[in-house]
Amino acid sequence: MIAIVDYGVGNIFSLYSSFKSIGAEVVLTGDADEIRAADKIILPGVGAFGDAAEKLRDSGLAKVITAQAAWGKPLLGICLGMQLLFEKSHEYGEHDGLGLIKGDIVTMEGVVPSDYKVPHIGWNSLRFPKGKEKSPLFKYIEEGDFVYFVHTYFGTNCEDSVIATTEYGAELTAAVARDNVYGVQFHPEKSGDVGMKILKGFITL
């Protein structure tokens, strides 16, 4: 069973529907015991990092998620959920993340050219790092496949964990992994067939 963590941040029904469409057993839950009982965990999220991190901690779910990850349970963070896996975010101040991925979350303003629209919204292709084996998360897709992004902030200082980047006037982190912890900046549930193949890659880890 896959547990999608429901902590009051984000539209999670489309993600739930996507997993159901590929035959996964999935539950939306904010219950710690259900999360512990699951085989895999999805951490979704949209909105501001600080608010989401506070809700995770106040609910007690931050400790549950980090403990389950430490025990080797596969965890996938999506969009803001990926950013929450990092050590720190610099969105409207400084906020501590879950610390499961080394690195920082920073704005792309001043990183991408001034004539590029921020936030970055739209379809962009994935690039896999040269010299690294392709992540098992991407075993059903190919380099150059397109996925859908909606974000202003991105992960940096995380070179060892990067498993995919995308080009948007600059090379931006698109996906990260460290052992059993994975994160994607894009929205698989909004990325058509490619996105479904990535979710399938996760459920077959």
Domains defined along the chain, listed by start = 2-203 (3.40.50.880)
Q: What is the pLDDT of residues 42-67, one digit of tens each?
A: 999 988 999 999 999 999 999 999 99
Q: What is the pLDDT of residue 12?
A: 87
C-alpha–C-alpha distance, residues 41 and 197, integer Å: 17
Under 8 Å between Cβ of 80 and 87: no
94-99: long-range contacts, CB 8 A cutoff, minimum separation 24? 95/49, 95/50, 95/53, 96/53, 97/49, 97/53, 98/56, 98/62, 98/65, 98/66, 99/66
Residues forming the active site: 79, 187, 189
% of the chain at pLDDT higher than 90: 95
3-state secondary structure of 31: coil
Q: What is the pLDDT of residues 112-155, one digit of tens each?
A: 999 999 999 999 999 999 999 999 999 999 999 999 999 999 99
Which helix (H) or strand (E) covers residue 123, if one does? strand 120-125
Tell me the one-letter amino acid at 80. L
Under 8 Å between Cβ of 86 and 155: yes
Question: pTM (2 decimals)?
Answer: 0.96
